[in-house]
């Protein structure tokens, strides 16, 4: 029998509240759920009535020598089996449908919520943890839906029904079995606690195994470059051995529990046969009642075993549900404010930072009292050493974050007062390593403007001078991008990103050094496309190289979060010692 490896000593706060909230989320599934419950009750009731039909066949048929009673009992038993079969099929499907529908909608809700959460959230969250919410946590809930829900409901109803049936059938014999049943319940509780701890260790250590595996595969070139294959294997083997030990701890618990239950079942049946048989001989109990009681008693053990197993599935599902609800309760720091409005259609593109101070941690500012104006159509390069605050300028312009104090404005409008859609339509980002999605080239270019036609896309490509390249592709705009654009070179990916931005027709472009990773020939091609894209538009370039500063109309230098120089490249090369040092660093880097 498979024991649930998702079980364990989970940190579940207020499980009743979790279940009530889940019921509210899935309240539209109430009637299908009620139908599933009714089918499960009918299937369980049909099964529980079977031994009574057997009793009737024995007492009224075999004992009395009535062949008609035997035939009726057999037909009733077959009818009950048929009802049980149909109801159980309906129950299994209905419970699975309700559960999978709930998870389908929950997955959609969680993913949609993740897409709406802001950059501060992603800055403090681990990607692996977020992915595990949508994978391992959902998997734990799916495991319960597919295997645990019907099992839990059926076996709980069976255990209660069998207990009631044994008391009604013969309360004296039922009370005599109470001691054995009590031992069974106590053993099951002890087993559940022991195996919970064991599987908690299993889950913890499988995580370490996977982390070590990922690290080894990801860093295999470094491992081989330094001939550390043996050491890496030894380290993995050590972690893997701990995982083996945890699994063996769980195996020890399983190895004593199931034989103990089998022993108790045998003892229970023997005791019932001994005490009940004596009463049958004495005429105090019918043979049919004794056989029915023995059937019920045998049925009582399996539901207890199953409930001990499914309890851990339930615990894992509740823990996963709690984590998902906690994620859904997370609210973005950067919100679209009440009364937010759209930018006018004719945005000139004037940008201004007005006394802007900002820190990712509230008490540790990254930018200090920045005052900066960018004229419409101006190409501004933001330069500085690593960690100076250059990229933070770009993030504030895109309103990935809000300033701690001060304001960022476009044409005099505070970004915080604008609708997200309006801001995004006028301020476009071209990152250093642009992201391409699975799908076609067409889908990726029109990502920011889904209503764009093929004619619109080709007009943009012609304006950028890349229409010949698009036409040279065997499938043209229908070319599949593949994962993260792996079939295209870095330069081609940047051209696609530029076309995407051009198609959106923004007034302001923010570039995080879009050509820094390209070879000179490809850089020239991309720079040509950039000139077309930036013509007449305001642009802010986060510059990491000398050429980007030289090509800009104006350069500002950031040092430790403060604006220390402002002017053209030629002016700063003369007037700013800090800028001259940066030029020297860049020059050595190029060389």
pLDDT, one tens digit per residue, over 518-551 is 556 666 777 777 788 888 889 999 988 888 888 8
Q: Are 133 and 117 in contact (CB under 8 A)?
A: no
The tokens describing 55, both together, are: 């009793």
Q: Are 554 and 568 in contact (CB under 8 A)?
A: yes
Q: Measure the CA angle with vertex 88, ends 45 and 299; round to 5°.
A: 50
Residue 510's DSSP bridge partners are: 429, 540
Cα–Cα distance between 489 and 466 in angstroms, integer?
14
For residue range 104-155, list pLDDT tens digits in order: 988 899 888 888 888 888 877 777 677 777 777 887 788 777 777 778 888 8
The tokens describing 70, both together, are: 């035997």
**List of residues 6+ apart from 429 with CB closer than 8 A:** 394, 398, 501, 510, 512
Q: Provide DSSP, 6-72.
A: T-S----S-HHHHHHHHHHHTGGGHHHHHHHHHHHHHHHHHHHHHHHHHHHIIIIIITTT-HHHHHH
Residue % of the chain over a pLDDT of 70: 93
pLDDT at 128: 66
What is the pLDDT averaged over residues 347-359? 93
Cα–Cα distance between 195 and 257 in angstroms, integer?
10
Q: Are 538 and 347 in contact (CB under 8 A)?
A: no
pLDDT at 194: 80
Q: Are 55 and 289 in contact (CB under 8 A)?
A: yes
Q: Are 428 and 447 in contact (CB under 8 A)?
A: no
Closest alpha carbon to 412 in 352, 372, 357: 352
Max Cα separation, the chain?
Answer: 119
Cα–Cα distance between 293 and 120 in angstroms, integer?
64
pLDDT band at 590; cut points 50, 70, 90: very low
Q: Are 200 and 207 in contact (CB under 8 A)?
A: no
Rg of the Cα atoms in the chain: 35
Residue 568's DSSP bridge partners are: none
pLDDT at 373: 94
As a whole number, the mean pLDDT across the chain is 83
Cα–Cα distance between 472 and 487 in angstroms, integer?
14
Q: Are 343 and 426 in contact (CB under 8 A)?
A: yes
Q: Is the pLDDT assigned to residue 7 strictly greater than 50?
A: no
Work out the number of other CB atoms within 10 angstroms of the CB of residue 119. 16
pLDDT at 523: 67
Work out the number of other CB atoms within 10 angstroms of the CB of residue 523. 19
Q: Using CB atoms within 10 A of its CB, is residue 352 exposed (0-12), middle (13-18) or buried (19+)? A: middle
Highest mean pLDDT out of 78-92, 145-159, 266-280, 288-302? 78-92
Work out the number of other CB atoms within 10 angstroms of the CB of residue 272. 23
Q: Three-state DSSP class for 511?
A: strand
Cα–Cα distance between 236 and 561 in angstroms, integer?
43
pLDDT at 589: 61
pLDDT band at 1; cut points 50, 70, 90: very low
pLDDT band at 10; cut points 50, 70, 90: very low
pLDDT band at 556; cut points 50, 70, 90: very high
pLDDT band at 383; cut points 50, 70, 90: very high
Q: Three-state DSSP class for 139?
A: helix
Work out the number of other CB atoms within 10 angstroms of the CB of residue 214. 11
What is the pLDDT averaged over residues 165-182? 83
pLDDT band at 12; cut points 50, 70, 90: low
pLDDT at 368: 92
pLDDT at 246: 83
- Count of helix runs (H) and strand runs (E) in the chain: 22, 10
Q: Report how far apart, in Å, the C-alpha atoms of 484 and of each of 103, 220, 435, 481, 523 are.
A: 28, 21, 6, 7, 20
Strand order in the sheet with 379-383: 427-430, 508-511, 538-542, 379-383, 554-559, 562-567
Q: Is the pLDDT assigned to residue 294 strictly greater than 80?
A: yes
Closest alpha carbon to 168 in 270, 79, 296: 296
The tokens describing 552, both together, are: 């800009």
Q: Three-state DSSP class for 334?
A: coil
For residue range 396-452, list pLDDT tens digits in order: 999 999 999 999 999 999 999 999 989 988 998 887 767 788 888 898 888 888 888
pLDDT at 372: 94
The tokens describing 333, both together, are: 């720091």
Lowest mean pLDDT among 73-77, 190-194, 198-202: 198-202
The tokens describing 352, both together, are: 């201004």
Closest alpha carbon to 55 in 282, 230, 379, 296: 296
The more confident residue out of 132 and 289 is: 289
Lowest mean pLDDT among 195-204, 228-237, 489-498: 195-204
Q: Are 379 and 541 in contact (CB under 8 A)?
A: yes
What is the pLDDT averaged over residues 26-33? 88
Q: Is residue 587 left, alpha or beta, with left meaning phi > 0 and alpha meaning psi from -120 to 50?
A: alpha
Q: Is the pTM of this model over 0.85?
A: no
The tokens describing 312, both together, are: 């851990």
Q: Are 308 and 188 in contact (CB under 8 A)?
A: yes
Residue 538's DSSP bridge partners are: 508
């Amino acid at each position: 029998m498979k024991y649930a490896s998702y079980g364990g000593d989970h940190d579940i706060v207020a499980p009743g509240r979790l279940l009530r909230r889940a019921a509210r989320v899935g309240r539209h599934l109430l009637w299908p759920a009620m139908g599933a419950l009714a089918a499960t009750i009918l299937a369980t009731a049909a099964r529980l009535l079977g031994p009574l039909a057997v009793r009737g066949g024995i007492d009224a048929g075999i004992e009395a020598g009535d062949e008609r009673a035997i035939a009726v009992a057999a037909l009733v038993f077959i009818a009950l089996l048929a009802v049980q079969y149909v109801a159980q099929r309906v129950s299994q499907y209905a419970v699975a449908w309700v559960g999978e529908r709930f998870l389908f909608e929950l997955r959609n809700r969680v993913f949609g919520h993740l897409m709406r959460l802001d950059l501060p959230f992603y800055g403090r969250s681990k990607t692996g943890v977020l992915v595990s919410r949508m994978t391992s946590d959902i998997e734990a809930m799916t495991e319960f839906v597919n295997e645990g829900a019907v099992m839990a409901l059926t076996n709980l109803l069976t255990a209660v029904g069998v207990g009631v049936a044994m008391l009604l059938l013969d309360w004296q014999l039922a009370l005599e079995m109470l001691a054995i049943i009590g031992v069974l319940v106590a053993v099951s509780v002890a087993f559940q606690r022991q195996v919970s701890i064991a599987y908690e260790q299993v889950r913890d250590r499988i995580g370490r195994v996977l982390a070590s595996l990922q690290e080894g595969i990801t860093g295999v070139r470094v491992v081989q470059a330094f001939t550390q294959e043996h050491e890496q294997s030894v380290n993995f083997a050590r972690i893997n051995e701990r995982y083996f030990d945890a699994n063996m701890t769980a195996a020890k618990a399983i190895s004593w529990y199931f034989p103990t239950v089998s022993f108790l079942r045998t003892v229970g049946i023997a005791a019932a046969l001994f005490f009940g048989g004596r009463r049958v001989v004495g005429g105090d109990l019918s043979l049919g009642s004794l056989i029915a009681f023995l059937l019920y008693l045998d049925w009582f053990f399996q539901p207890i075993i199953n409930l001990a197993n499914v309890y851990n599935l339930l615990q894992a599902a509740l823990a996963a549900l709690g984590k998902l609800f906690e994620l859904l309760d997370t609210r973005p720091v950067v919100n679209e404010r009440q009364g937010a409005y759209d930018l006018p259609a004719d945005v000139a593109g004037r940008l201004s930072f007005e006394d802007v101070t900002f820190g990712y941690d509230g008490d540790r500012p990254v930018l200090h009292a920045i005052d900066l104006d960018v004229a419409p159509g101006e190409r501004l390069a933001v330069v500085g050493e690593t960690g100076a605050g250059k990229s933070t300028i770009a993030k504030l312009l895109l309103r990935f974050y809000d300033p701690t104090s001060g304001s960022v404005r476009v044409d005099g409008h505070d970004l915080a007062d604008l609708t997200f859609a309006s801001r995004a339509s006028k301020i476009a980002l071209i990152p250093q390593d642009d992201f391409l999605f699975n799908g076609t080239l067409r889908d990726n270019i029109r990502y920011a403007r889904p209503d764009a036609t093929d004619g619109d896309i080709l007009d943009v490509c012609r304006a950028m001078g890349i229409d010949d390249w698009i036409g040279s592709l065997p499938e043209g705009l229908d070319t599949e991008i593949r994962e993260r654009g792996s079939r295209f070179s870095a330069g081609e990916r940047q051209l696609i990103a530029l076309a995407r931005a051009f198609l959106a027709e923004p007034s302001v472009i923010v570039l995080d050094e879009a050509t820094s990773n390209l070879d000179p020939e490809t850089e020239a091609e991309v720079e040509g496309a950039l000139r077309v894209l930036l013509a007449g538009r305001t642009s802010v370039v986060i510059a990491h190289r000398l050429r980007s500063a030289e090509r800009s109309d104006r350069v500002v230098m950031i040092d430790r979060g403060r604006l220390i120089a402002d002017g053209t490249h030629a002016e700063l090369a003369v007037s700013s010692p800090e800028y001259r040092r940066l030029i020297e660093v860049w020059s050595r880097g190029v060389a």
